[in-house]
Amino acid sequence: MQRTDEEARWLEDLGRDVQASLKRSAYVSRLKLVKPRSKETANEVDGWWLNLSAIVGTRSDFNLFFDNTLGPRTLWYGAAATKRDAVDEIDSVGRRRWPHTQDHINDFNYPKAGGLRYTDPVLDRWGKNEFYYGWYEPGSPRTSRTPPAELTGRIAERFTAVLSELDDKYDAQSLLSRLDELDTLRHAKGRLEQGILRAYVLGGQDSSECALCGETFPVDLLVAAHIKRRASCSDAERRNYESNLMAVCAFGCDDLFERGYIAVRAGRG
């Protein structure tokens, strides 16, 4: 089957439509758009390819391909790179959105595989310096007609989703890169009486029951808490260890009680 100028014009029309959609997206700043211009593919695939944009911050581009990969003419779209680690970066963020990526990175020339899932992207290698992450469209498009709006929307939606996942990744990287160290010293008040009160309530025991949830825990997972919230106690009440003290687990009851989410009524939590 010989490539035709009609196919080249159709691919360029599709490229312009996709670019128009991407220009309206919140992630257009992550793209360096170029004029869509169809170029001939290698003779063995007998078709056309078109570069849409560079993806800023990566070493990948968004491309469209129109060739005989899976049939008389197959449309493919996605990210292309000349380095394996560059397309791996796109793949790593893409799998958060599409976890069932079809991996053919170790195959030269994508096999004419049955059972291809057209809703999931393919991670593929075509040659030594050709790596791809993207989608095949089922069936051959009718190049005598204008590219359908639903196709344009599907491509733009998937490209935008990739950009969104990249944006989340780089936001986290940017914030972390601003931190010289990940550890810091904090000055905070401590309960100086805790050791004394723990010895009174829990001394000599290996385990004890939490007074609020009723579960039994080893004593190193319990704290000595005031029955009247410590934050509301006077100094004298904080020292009243005989009638204002209980053992509370550190799994949440202590913090929930101190913050007022749970309370003691008539001796019960």
The answer as to whether 86 is a domain residue is: yes
> In this predicted model, what pLDDT tens digit does every residue of 186-213 receive, in sequence order?
544 445 556 667 777 787 788 999 989 9
DSSP secondary structure string for all residues of 39-103: EE--TTT-SEEEEEEEETTSSEEEEEEEESSSSSSEEEEEEEESSHHHHHHHHHHHHHH-TT-EE
CA distances from 117 to 94, 106, 136 (A): 16, 18, 9
pLDDT value of position 176: 52
Indicate whether 84 and 210 sit together in one domain.
no
Indicate whether 105 and 214 sit together in one domain.
no
pLDDT value of position 263: 78
Indicate whether 215 and 114 sit together in one domain.
no
pLDDT value of position 171: 56
Indicate whether 155 and 75 sit together in one domain.
yes
The answer as to whether 41 is a domain residue is: yes
Indicate whether 102 and 149 sit together in one domain.
yes
Indicate whether 155 and 253 sit together in one domain.
no
Other CB atoms closer than 10 Å to residue 171's CB: what's the count? Answer: 10
The answer as to whether 185 is a domain residue is: no
The answer as to whether 266 is a domain residue is: no
The answer as to whether 24 is a domain residue is: yes
Give the angle 215-218-220 at the CA atoms, nearest 5°.
120
The answer as to whether 186 is a domain residue is: no
Indicate whether 74 and 129 sit together in one domain.
yes
pLDDT value of position 225: 84
Range of the domain at 204: 194-258
pTM of the model: 0.63
Indicate whether 15 and 115 sit together in one domain.
yes
Low-confidence ranges of the chain (pLDDT < 70): 106-115, 169-196, 231, 241-242, 265-269
pLDDT value of position 177: 53
pLDDT value of position 122: 92
pLDDT value of position 268: 47
Indicate whether 99 and 212 sit together in one domain.
no
pLDDT value of position 205: 86
The answer as to whether 183 is a domain residue is: no
How many domains in the chain?
2
